Each structure stands twice: as structure tokens, then as C-alpha cells.
Structure 1
Amino acid sequence: MRIGLFIDDYLPSVHGVATSTATYKQALEDLGHEVFVVAPKVEDYDDYDDHVIRMPSSKNYVFEKREMAYIYPGLAKRLDEYDFDVVHSQTQFYLGVLAHSVAKRQNIPHVTTIHTLYTELIDDYPFMVTAGLIAATVAFPVVLRTKPIMPKMSREQIRELDRSKIKDMLSRQGWRLTAAFANKCDACLSPSKHLAKILVDEGGLTTPYYIFPNSIDTKKYRHARAIDSPIAKKRGEKFIICVARLSPEKRQMALVEAMPHIADETIKLVLVGGGPYERELRDRVAELGLEDRVIFTGMCSSAQVASLLKQADVFALASYHFDNQPMTFLEAAAAGLPIVYCDERLTEALTPKNSILTGGIEGEDFARVLTDILSDREKLKRLSAGALRVAKAFDSETMAKKLVGLYQRLIDARRELEE
């Protein structure tokens, strides 16, 4: 079948949604399907892939100068020549709206995946999130042809709200808008159960939904070599690794502040990634005198990330009530790494066989768990073996076959309606 994957921020960006989309593209192609990715055009970047369709775009300076595609009347018509059998949006905004239009024009199923807890970004990016909610509140009824999706409060009530209640109102509005988009699709996918529950309970999701965890090519991480890592590791050293965008919502600061509470100075923290929070993190490292114990790698290729994970001893992530199903958990598990985390809502790829939930969300809470694991060779070995077993359930080939099955059922159902 011919599949169109629509995404607002694709390669060369390195983040969970882009990685998940690229992984599914490859896995679906390996199964014999023709897969196109529709994404914004990125200046000075060559895809070397004629199945990546780049849309005209410009930099969005509200959010880290990312390229965002233009959406204008007649754009969907340009994609008629591809004659898709199904479209699958990885976003509910710019190119998600385009996917909706393409599906309507070509009379084909539209599947959408809700990847991100968007409203959890309100504290860190108040202007961006608030502006986005206002724009979507105005635009969605027009482009989706739905009734106005307005906050369920009077103007007088809104005026009397304090800051915390305003945040709650914006959060509920965000979920209603996200669910409104999904309700115009043939199916909604969620990588985790807890996100699906929020969409139903808070957003009013009514379209059929399915839990489809992200997937990875487990072979890539099993076969990676520590010797190929871009950083050196001395004999006797142990590495705690965190692979995530350096931003407030990922809370790398908690990991930095855990290090003074870990007495063994052969234990080091490796922060992989780039982002707007790097300066603050580096300043805190200097303030705590941790320059020799915290390593910043900067942005790394996927191959480098695989070798860095293979080189490490344990994976840690301090994000709290933000992430949905982090791809890095899957990558860490496939590399055989135990996982230490603090968000009790996360479940996918996390079991007592391969992970430990901290008792709190601060640096000292992480320090206690990390010290315990890294000082107990048998526990480390047992959790590592468990990680490899857990990762098998998320292999990209297995998940791609399930996805194709869903696509085919939706295509068949639409054809039956037309007969």
C-alpha cells in the first residue's frame, strides 16, 4: 500500500517523534510498502530520499527557530499525484491539518498519533503554548468544520481566575482541541495508556483509539559498539547517561544536582543532546564544581547515540508528568541498560525487570537509587538482562505489522461503505 506520514518536525531534527516516524518508515518499507514522509523543507539539508516530500516553510521564531510548513488553500491538491491509500499524521497542527485535507480529497482513511502532552509545556513556554491554543481555538472549527471549541467558562469567570486556575483552564482547552482533531480521524493512536485516558476523560475523545507504543530497530542497539563512542571512558569509570533535549521540561538539572550526593567519583553523568537549557546546566555544573563529573556531548547522530548507550552503565530520565512514551527508554532497553525514572505515570518499556522508580523527583532521590544500582554488580547485571528481554516487545518489525493490519482494516471498512 501507499502510505503518507505527515510530521511537523522531521529529520535532521533528532527527537522522539522524528525518530519514531523514521523508524516506522523503514520498517514499513522493509515489509514491502511504499512510504512517503511529508515534512517542512529544511534549509541546507538534503534528504537523499525521494520519498520525503518537503513542503514550503519558514522559521518559527516562537519555538527555537524550527522550520514550520506553510498551510494554504490548494496545497492538498498538490499531493493528489501520490494517490495514497492511507495518511497518518504524527501531529495535530500544521501538517496534521494538511493530512486531514488530503484524506478528505482522496477519500482515504486518516490515522493520527498523539505523541506529546502538549499542555505540560505551559510553564516552560507560556507564550508559545497560549498562542498555539488561541490559534487552534480559532482555526480548528474552520478547517475541521466542527462547532466552536471554547473554554467552558464565562468571560467574568475567566477574569477572576488566578494563575494556577488559568493554567488548568488552558490545559483542559488543549486536550479538548487535541481530541477534536482526533475525532475527525478514522483512528487515534496513543503510545501509552495514560495518555489515552486523558484524551477520553479530559478531551472527550470518541473516535476509536488504540495503544501503539513507539518502536525501534532493536538490532541497531544490540549490535552497537562502545568503542565507537565519541567520548572516552577510563578503566573503572561508570557512566549514567541521559539522552534528551536539554530543556526545562526534561529536568536534567535534577540529575546534575544528584551528582554531589553520589560519593563515588568514578561515577560520571553523560548528557546527550542540545537545547535551550544548556547554558543554565553548564552554569550549575560549574557552581557545584562538577566539571570533571558531568560530560556534555552536544547533538549526536543516531549511530553515536547507540554507541554512547552501549558504553554507559545505567540510563536516567528526570522528566516529570511531561513525557508520553520516551523513545529513549526503548533505546536504553535495547542497549541493555537499566532505567531510573521518577514519573509514576510512565509504564511502557518499564517493568521491575529493567527499571526502578525513584521515591521522589529531586536530585537526592535519584542519587540514592543510582548509588544503590551502581554499587551492586549483581543487581546491575540482572536489570541489564531484563532490559534486553523487555525491548523485544517493541521491535519495529513487530509493531509495523500491527500498524499495517490497522491500516488495512480501515481501508476495507471504507470500501465496504462505498459499495
Structure 2
Amino acid sequence: MKRTILHILDHSLPLQSGYAFRSQNILRSQCRAGLYPVALTSPKHEAFWKRPTPPVEQIDSVKVHRCGKVNAGRGVLEEAAVVWRLRSRIRRLMGQERPQVLHAHSPVLNGLAALVEARRARVPLVYEIRAFWEDAAADLGTYGPSSATYRLVRALETAVCRGASRVVTICEGLRSDLLARGIAAEKMFVVPNAVDLSQFSPGVRDNGRFRQPGTKTLAFIGSFYHYEGLDLLIEACGLLAPSHPELRLLLVGGGPMENRLKDLVKRRGLSNRVVFTGRIPHKEIRDAYASADLFVYPRKSMRLTDLVTPLKPLEAMAMGKAVAASSVGGHRELIRHGETGVLFAPNDAAALAIAVKDVLASPALCQRLGRQGRDWVVRERTWERNGALYRALYASCAP
């Protein structure tokens, strides 16, 4: 009999985000690993999606239950309503689906609701942290890192980790931070970001949609947040432009920094060098990867980027593309300098420009980095491997 796992998620497909794609890959990999995953999304899904949502959807043969939207104002009242609604739906699904394990995914509101109901039903709770959401909120200016709200969210997350049977992080940086808070090492697992090799492979040919003939193309695919350092990437292109007339920059995605980045491009006189595609359908992402010579990830150095590993460099590596990235902690978990990619000093447009120049000057180096990066992803960062990790994790916390 397959072990039933009830996942508590912030949101899911059809809403597209890095969070939603990781969630769906988790559910898909667990099906392949012989488990029976079922999901419940929080009221935040309806708040983000803003469209009619059925109470249950079938996504990739996995049942995804919805909570429905809550209307309780903003701030503490809204968050309390989210936890209360989640508890009610979890309790109902515990009787309906009869899961052997409850698996809550950050943010902490999901963990709080799941912890109470897991204790009531006497089933193990796995709590998975993909990032410390208080750090992301601090970077966006929602509240400061020394504020009472920041400290409260951090304390609640620590409390959920202490109460959970097992804690999952996506990287060693997050795990080390939790160890420093006193969370027991024996209850923690790392299940890293990974790639579905059936979707990302070197066999995809450049169809010319995202690339001008006769150019060398740098690219970034992802969300345009301040910490991604895309302003530095644009500045580096400005430094390289006089000596590299063939150079172009492709920026795929969108986000809070988009208008400021477009203004910067105009001020630097790079409008004929930088292409903003906007957000594109997920099915077209592989075409964008195939169109570039080098992918650049210039994340700025801060607590968030030192602790968390991104997904997009792994996708580029799986496509056999050379990768250059700033040497923040999250990137150093993915890239060995000179072997699976190139690292450069963070917060430094000149260092970024030198790294790009060196890689593009050597087609042999570019090919070798792409090949070795792909080999590493195949060995260490696949969803097939992660499915086996989850299966072992659940077996270790069986009641």
C-alpha cells in the first residue's frame, strides 16, 4: 500500500512561480517514487490567482485541494484567518485522505497550522523551508531586519522546526542557520533544488526567436528582484560594449526592478544591446536557454543570497550551457570555479565584465564548462534522486 503524504503549500500551478514549479516537481517525483502525494494550498493561492478556483483540481494526476479565499482585512487579522482556514481544511482532509505524514512547506503560516493538526491527529510533521521569508520581506522593504515583525517571524519559524518530526531545507546554508538556532542535526534533511532532465537537455536547438544572427548573447532568466544584481549585469555590458560590438544581453522574466532596469539601459545607451522579453510561457523557456552563449547570475551579497541556492543556474547547466555567477554562498553550493562554471566577486560590475570577457574569449572553455556542469547536474541534482530522498525521509519518521 502506498504511503499517503498530505502537502500544505502556499500556492501551486496553474499560478506560475519558482515555488509552484518546485512544488509540482516534488509531487511528481514522489509519485514516481511509489508514494501517494495529495496537496492543499493556503488561501494565498486564491489571493494571488484572482480567478475562479474549483475546490479540487487534478494537476499531473495529483489531487490539489483549495482552501478558498479569506476576507479578514490585512496584517495580523488576515494571517490569523489564513492559519484558521488551513487548520479547518487540514482537519477535514486528515479524515478524508488519511495521510501517514503531514508535510508543510514554508512560509511559517503553513507550518503553524500543520503543527497543531499533526499533534491533534498524532501523525509526523515534516516542515520544509525553501527560504527564510523574513529575509525576503526585509530585502523588499516590507519590514526591517531589526524590527519586531522580523524577530517574531523568525521565532515562529524556529518554534515550528523544533516541533516538527523532521525539517527539510533546500541547501546547506539554510541547514547551517537552523543548526545555529539549536535545531537537532539528526532531524534535518537537505533535499536540494533539482531539474527534470526530460524537460532540460542539450538537444534543444536555437530557433532564432530570442537571438539575432551573428551575435554573442548573455542571458538571465528569472525574477527581477533587487538582490539578483541585474543592474550590475547591465553596467558590465556597458563596460564591454565598446570592445565587443557583437555582444547582446537577453533578460527573460519580470518583477519589481523591471522599470528601473529599463531606465538604466536607456541612460547607458544600451537600448540596441539589451532585450527584455517579459514573462514567457514555461513551455518556451527551453528555447530561451538554447539561444544564449553564457548565462550570468550576478546576485548581490546579503544574508538571503548567502543562505539560499537558486534554481535557474541548474536549469542552464542541465541544458549544457556555461554559467558565470557571483561568489555568494548560495552559488558556491552549485558551482565549482573553473570546473562547472565561473565565479566572480559580488557587487562588482568590473569583475563581472572580466569574467564574461574571459569565458566568451574561449569557445573551448565555454563548451567544457557547459559539459561538466551538465554532468554534475545529472549526478547530483535530478528529481528522480530527490524522490528517493523523500521516500527515505518519510520512512525515518514513521510513527
Query: Normalising to structure 1: TM-score of the pair?
Result: 0.80
Q: Kindly tell me: are residues 371 and 69 of structure 1, through their superposed partners in 2, closer, same or farther at Cα, counting changes over 3 Å? A: farther
Displacement of 1:7: 1.6
Distance of 1:74 and 1:376 partners within structure 2: 59
2:383 to 388, 393, 396: 396
2:253 equivalent to 1:238: no
Q: Is the 8 A contact 1:89 1:111 kept in 2?
A: yes
Aligned residue pairs total 371
List gaps (5 residues or longer) in structure 2. none
Distance of 2:10 and 2:81 partners within structure 1: 7
2:340 equivalent to 1:354: yes
Q: Kindly tell me: are residues 241 and 60 of structure 1, through their superposed partners in 2, closer, same or farther at Cα, counting changes over 3 Å? A: farther
1:318 maps to 298
Displacement of 1:174: 4.9
1:374 to 324, 342, 360: 360
2:7 maps to 5
Deviations 1:51-109 (A, max 9, x none): 1111112599989xxx9983326343222211111122221423232322332233221
Counterpart secondary structure, 2:309: coil
2:314 equivalent to 1:330: yes
Distance of 1:68 and 1:258 partners within structure 2: 46
Distance of 2:205 and 2:81 partners within structure 1: 38
Q: Is the 8 A contact 1:55 1:69 kept in 2?
A: no
Q: Is the 8 A contact 2:344 2:352 kept in 1?
A: yes
Distance of 2:323 and 2:71 partners within structure 1: 36
List gaps (5 residues or longer) in structure 1. 131-163, 415-419
Q: Is the 8 A contact 2:108 2:153 kept in 1?
A: no
Distance of 1:87 and 1:254 partners within structure 2: 42
Displacement of 1:227: 4.0
Q: Which moved more, 1:67-76 or 1:337-346?
A: 67-76
2:273 maps to 293
2:92 to 78, 82, 87: 78
* Matched AA of 2:224: L
1:277 maps to 257
Distance of 1:326 and 1:170 partners within structure 2: 26
Distance of 1:287 and 1:170 partners within structure 2: 38
Q: Which moved more, 1:272-281 or 1:174-183?
A: 174-183
Distance of 1:34 and 1:242 partners within structure 2: 36
Distance of 2:176 and 2:261 partners within structure 1: 34
Distance of 1:216 and 1:243 partners within structure 2: 15
1:53 maps to 65
Displacement of 1:122: 5.1
Displacement of 1:181: 1.5
Distance of 2:80 and 2:327 partners within structure 1: 31
* Matched AA of 1:287: R
2:55 equivalent to 1:43: no
* Matched AA of 2:37: V
Q: Is the 8 A contact 1:245 1:275 kept in 2?
A: yes
Distance of 1:226 and 1:103 partners within structure 2: 48
Displacement of 1:401: 0.8
Query: Normalising to structure 2: TM-score of the pair?
Result: 0.84
Aligned ranges 1:167-182 → 2 under 5 Å: 174-182=153-161
Displacement of 1:345: 1.1
Q: Is the 8 A contact 1:3 1:85 kept in 2?
A: yes
Counterpart secondary structure, 1:234: coil
Deviations 1:96-135 (A, max 9, x none): 3232233223322111121114343355333x345xxxxx
2:372 maps to 386
Displacement of 1:372: 0.9
Q: Is the 8 A contact 1:69 1:95 kept in 2?
A: no
Distance of 1:340 and 1:70 partners within structure 2: 40
Q: Kindly tell me: are residues 58 and 296 of structure 1, through their superposed partners in 2, closer, same or farther at Cα, counting changes over 3 Å? A: farther
1:114 maps to 129
